[in-house]
Structure 1
Amino acid sequence: MTDRRLAVLPFLDFSDKRSLNKDLQLVKLLEQDQVVTQNQLIKSLYGKTDAKTQTTFRKLKSRVQQKLLNHLYFLDQSDPRHIVSRRYDLYCLGLLHQAKILLGEGEYPLAEKLFRKFYKVSAEAEFTAYSIMGAKSLRTLYMEMGRPAKYKWISGELSKMQTRMQLEDEAEQLYSSMKLVLNQKVRSRKFMLTQLPEYEHRLEQIHKEVKSYSTFHFLYSAKLFKEELVGNYQEIIKITSSTEKARKQGKINEKRFDKRFNNYMSVYAHLQCRKAKQGLALAEEYFKDFHHSSGNWFYFLETYLLLAVHAQQYGQAFDLLLQARKNTYYGKQRAAAQQRWELYEAYIQFVRPEQSPLKMRYFNQFVQKVPDYSRDKQGYNVAILILQFLYFLRRRDIEGLLARLEGLRKYEQRHLRDPATLRSQLFFRLLLMTVKENFALEVCEKKGAPILEKLQAAPQPGQAYGEIEIIPYEDLWDLTLGILRQLNTEQVALDQAERNRI
């Protein structure tokens, strides 16, 4: 026992609503929506701004920050909509922290119990690094307590864990090298394709030898990564399906495996495989497993929305878009993510225009600018160019259309030469043909038919090639023909009106 406790607990009492405590006052000021400067905060707290109050404020800010950090120890981790492994990870760290304090206080028997519990829990969750920490602590403790039998036992366990850790580290290094390429340019991703078989083979060897959760995770993730790069999404559906089956059979550690990620990859693969209706049904089922405060909620909702668009459920897609906008954590996304949502909204707005003048004005402003969505030249930039072309086509803006036409030609010449970009190449040809044939509906339908057949037969490109189709090109071509049909009808009406005047 010890009486060395803090005189004042380092926490904030949020239940005291009427407190005049400066710590709580600062938090309440920061909770307000309006943006305030540091000097404004100082004046609100102390009534004036001078050297003395600034020094006092710095101390206050440091103290409040530390108290807020202390509250992190008591976050509720039980919600299954968050990463399940985090719950056990933090539980292990808590046990380790308590055991070390007891050890420091000389409470060896109590410390041993907690270290053994820490070792057991970490082993059950297959946190090898933690198991090694626990084994080392117990080995030192048994040495101090003079228990040779237990010392020998834990030394043997430690040796096994260290051997396992070496192989798990190698597996992690292999996977990290693969994953790093995903955030690089298209050229780097395509180069990685040649290295993948060797990486995957070594990961399989390691997992066959170790059979731990970590080696399974890196092999499983590497397989998904490879198939995504080459665009073999049907195989991803098989992998995710077999993995879910293994999970239900108890073959995968439930304390570590994130079934939400597996579900996300399944839904994403259905989107890429053009199985929008099946994927949409799965997305509706899986979406409830994501907490609205997490970034993964938004990532999943993006795919959910795209499935609705691909299934031509534009009303549902718009509702999902509104759901994202209304989420209080929407503004915490990265700028690039928020720009993607704007692009999705622009496409939905184009397909089913809002009657609101304000909405239409915003749409018109957005579609005429080209934000840099991708560090590379493919991906969302293709979607932007297509949307702009169709926008000017619908408006009969010949000048704007011709400018975009030149942009399409240059883009195709510079960035769409790879065979894997065939779908974009073919759709660009269809769009260019509408201008070449002077927007004649029947001619475009006839000459576009063989190109459309090739488009329908063309495989979906993989992640390595950075292609994104917000609306399938086949559906966009139907939409294009619909625009030409409307333009033709309007032109006939104008010609008739002109003849009537004569």
Structure 2
Amino acid sequence: MKEIKKLIEIVLSCSQAETGLLDVPKQSIKEKKFIQGIELGHYTSDEQAAKDLYNTNPNDVRYKMLKHRVKKKLFNELNYVNPQKVTANHVRQKEIQCNSLIYQANIVRARYEFDLVINLATKALMIAQEFDFTDLKVSALELLSLSYSEQGFIKKFTAAQEELKAAMRHFVMEREAVSMFQHATVQLRKSTKTRKEFLPQLPGIIEKLEKLWKGSGTFSSYYAYYRTYIWYHELEGNFKEIIAITVDALRLVDHNKINVQRFDLTYNNFIMVYAHLRAKDYTDGLAYAEKNLLLYNPTSVNWFSYMENYFLLAVHAQHYELGDILQRKIFDNSSFHIIPTIAKERWILYRSYFRLVYSQATVPEGEANNPYLLSLPEYSKDKLGFNVAILTLQFIYLLEKGETEALLYRIESIKKYVSTHLKDAFSLRSKLFLKLLVLTVTEDYDAEACRTKGESLYKKLLDTPAPGDAYAEIEIVPYEHLWDLILQILAKEEASTKARTR
């Protein structure tokens, strides 16, 4: 039932005909009733459909035959879908169109209508060459070679054969590159343990992928190299390497070294801005972020994702006025509701942090009741990547309020979190910073004592680079900036205390 329901949804949404599937000829009354029943939600199970149509159960041969006929007709309808309705992706539309032309050419080939084969295969070849569909280029050239051979066109046959041999060589290398990329993908998407074990193999794989791309020159080979390269260096935290390949990709596009039609500029610029953030190259990162913002539709999920990196760049660069403008754009965007719940929670966390470092930040009135997320648990699996951020935010809020008893409780939670969850080397920055928080309480909130005794931890923090993306806790505001803020809070409180006692 699920398979038929999916097929009906696809055919109805992508059909060439305005009236859709129910007007397909030679459908029996029961077939139409069956399809309509599923489409309208009357049949959600085989039991319901079999009972209504035949007053029987799903094992009845009549019902089984009905399902078989309908499924066969649904799959047949996929031959007539409108590519523009199948997907908004222009490249995928052209791929479907090219495949359709090759399918049609193979049909007329079976009737030995080689003039028609040449006409259709030539059209397919033009699309395949424009979009660098190597596999479809091979198929089109094979059809042309056959047709020229059958018709005795020696010069055309010879030219097609030479082109086919080159395309085949490139295709073999491309398929090897794609296979290697797929193998890397399946390994990297398994458990963290598998990912860590597989990482040492990636430099060798990347080297082979680069050779395959340079040998074949095809887009798919480049894409396999490009994505694997980015993935590896992201996991290893080598963000300057990612900046280098994304900038080089733009050069290759400008020089037509890779297919302009298929290269995803929105992804490239997203990862470029993100890499600048992680590499702490804020000046160039902000310049790229502003320059490329127009590539993203403000009503799309991609725009919100891009704005996260843009906003964080502004915060890390301490360009707080720009940060305030950007966070207002986010929360004032009428499409904010379309983003996933976890993304909305991130933005609320970002805004809470932004209030710490920029007191003039624009914040809705209702949020003042729980400005620093005090209701959130100190640790939860659904907040992975944000647990240190939440702990820190709550700690600073209580510090500002002078809630010493509550801070003592938080310190125990922080110690427990450090001993339980920050054992690996990639957690060193978070571990060092949380130790500074603990020091704040153990030194009885003495600003100068905290500055002096925390100096060695602070220097280690400065010298410790951010870990790779796969393992990192998110630093919404750099820990160094937060430590400076904490010392300022302590100094301000000491000055207020002295003023009151005079």
Q: TM-score, normalised by structure 2?
A: 0.74
Q: Are residues 100 and 273 of structure 1, via their aligned partners in 2, closer, same or farther at CA, if it must alter by over 3 Å? A: closer
Q: Which amino acid aligns with 1:361?
A: N
1:468 and 2:471 correspond: no
Q: Partners of 2:188 and 2:316 in 1: how far apart?
A: 25
Q: Which amino acid aligns with 2:487?
A: L
Cα deviation digits, residues 377-406 of structure 1 (max 9, x gap)? 5x3222222222212222222343223212
Q: Partners of 2:91 and 2:488 in 1: how far apart?
A: 56
Q: Partners of 1:471 and 1:256 in 2: how far apart?
A: 36
Q: Which amino acid aligns with 2:371?
A: F
| Structure 1 residue aligned with 2:435 | 429
Kindly report which structure 2 residues correspond to 1:119-130, keeping only aligned pairs within 5 A, or say none: 119-130=125-136
Q: Are residues 186 and 466 of structure 1, via their aligned partners in 2, closer, same or farther at CA, if it must alter by over 3 Å? A: farther
| Structure 1 residue aligned with 2:261 | 255
Kindly report which structure 2 residues correspond to 1:415-454, keeping only aligned pairs within 5 A, or say none: 415-454=421-460
Q: Partners of 2:419 and 2:411 in 1: how far apart?
A: 13
| Structure 1 residue aligned with 2:96 | 93
| Structure 2 residue aligned with 1:62 | none
Bigger mean CA offset, 353-362 vs 389-398? 353-362
Q: Which amino acid aligns with 2:309?
A: T
Q: Which amino acid aligns with 1:359?
A: E
Kindly report which structure 2 residues correspond to 1:64-463, keeping only aligned pairs within 5 A, or say none: 73=84, 86-97=89-100, 100=103, 109=115, 112-138=118-144, 154=160, 157-158=163-164, 160-180=166-186, 182-183=188-189, 186-353=192-359, 357-365=365-373, 368-369=376-377, 372=380, 379-463=385-469
Bigger mean CA offset, 249-258 vs 95-104? 95-104
Cα deviation digits, residues 244-266 of structure 1 (max 9, x gap)? 23332332221222233332232
Cα deviation digits, residues 412-469 of structure 1 (max 9, x gap)? 2222222333222221111110011011111111112222222112222122432321
How far off is 1:269 after superposition?
A: 1.8
| Structure 1 residue aligned with 2:58 | none
Q: Partners of 2:378 and 2:149 in 1: how far apart?
A: 68
Cα deviation digits, residues 144-170 of structure 1 (max 9, x gap)? 878687667656655554443343233
Q: Partners of 1:102 and 1:133 in 2: how far apart?
A: 10
Contiguous gaps of at least 5 residues in structure 1: 1-7, 13-36, 40-50, 52-65, 78-85, 497-502
Local SS of the residue matching 1:463? coil
Give the number of aligned pairs.
432
How far off is 1:326 after superposition?
A: 3.8
How far off is 1:475 after superposition?
A: 0.6
Cα deviation digits, residues 43-101 of structure 1 (max 9, x gap)? xxxxxxxx9xxxxxxxxxxxxxx9xx977726996xxxxxxxx4244234235436755
Q: Partners of 1:138 and 1:461 in 2: how far apart?
A: 54
Higher RCO structure, 1 or 2 (CA under 8 Å, sep 6+): 1
Q: TM-score, normalised by structure 1?
A: 0.74
Q: Are residues 326 and 114 of structure 1, via their aligned partners in 2, closer, same or farther at CA, if it must alter by over 3 Å? A: farther
How far off is 1:172 after superposition?
A: 2.0
- Whether the 8 Å CA contact 1:190–1:464 is kept in 2: the answer is no
Q: Which amino acid aligns with 1:395?
A: K
Q: Are residues 104 and 217 of structure 1, via their aligned partners in 2, closer, same or farther at CA, if it must alter by over 3 Å? A: closer
Contiguous gaps of at least 5 residues in structure 2: 1-14, 20-39, 43-51, 53-76
Q: Partners of 2:97 and 2:279 in 1: how far apart?
A: 44
Q: Are residues 329 and 352 of structure 1, via their aligned partners in 2, closer, same or farther at CA, if it must alter by over 3 Å? A: same
How far off is 1:490 after superposition?
A: 3.8
Local SS of the residue matching 1:409? helix
Cα deviation digits, residues 285-328 of structure 1 (max 9, x gap)? 11111223443322211110100111122332233223233444
- Whether the 8 Å CA contact 1:100–1:111 is kept in 2: the answer is no
Q: Partners of 1:114 and 1:341 in 2: how far apart?
A: 52
- Percent identity, aligned pairs only, is 32
Q: Which amino acid aligns with 2:269?
A: N
- Whether the 8 Å CA contact 1:200–1:223 is kept in 2: the answer is yes
| Structure 2 residue aligned with 1:33 | none
- Whether the 8 Å CA contact 1:430–1:448 is kept in 2: the answer is yes
| Structure 1 residue aligned with 2:70 | none
Q: Partners of 2:352 and 2:239 in 1: how far apart?
A: 27
How far off is 1:284 after superposition?
A: 0.7
| Structure 2 residue aligned with 1:485 | 491
Q: Which amino acid aligns with 1:475?
A: H
- Whether the 8 Å CA contact 1:268–1:303 is kept in 2: the answer is yes
Q: Are residues 356 and 468 of structure 1, via their aligned partners in 2, closer, same or farther at CA, if it must alter by over 3 Å? A: closer
- Whether the 8 Å CA contact 2:117–2:143 is kept in 1: the answer is no
Q: Partners of 2:488 and 2:479 in 1: how far apart?
A: 14
Q: Partners of 1:178 and 1:103 in 2: how far apart?
A: 35
Q: Which amino acid aligns with 2:458?
A: L
Q: Partners of 1:211 and 1:95 in 2: how far apart?
A: 21
1:11 and 2:18 correspond: yes
Local SS of the residue matching 1:467? coil
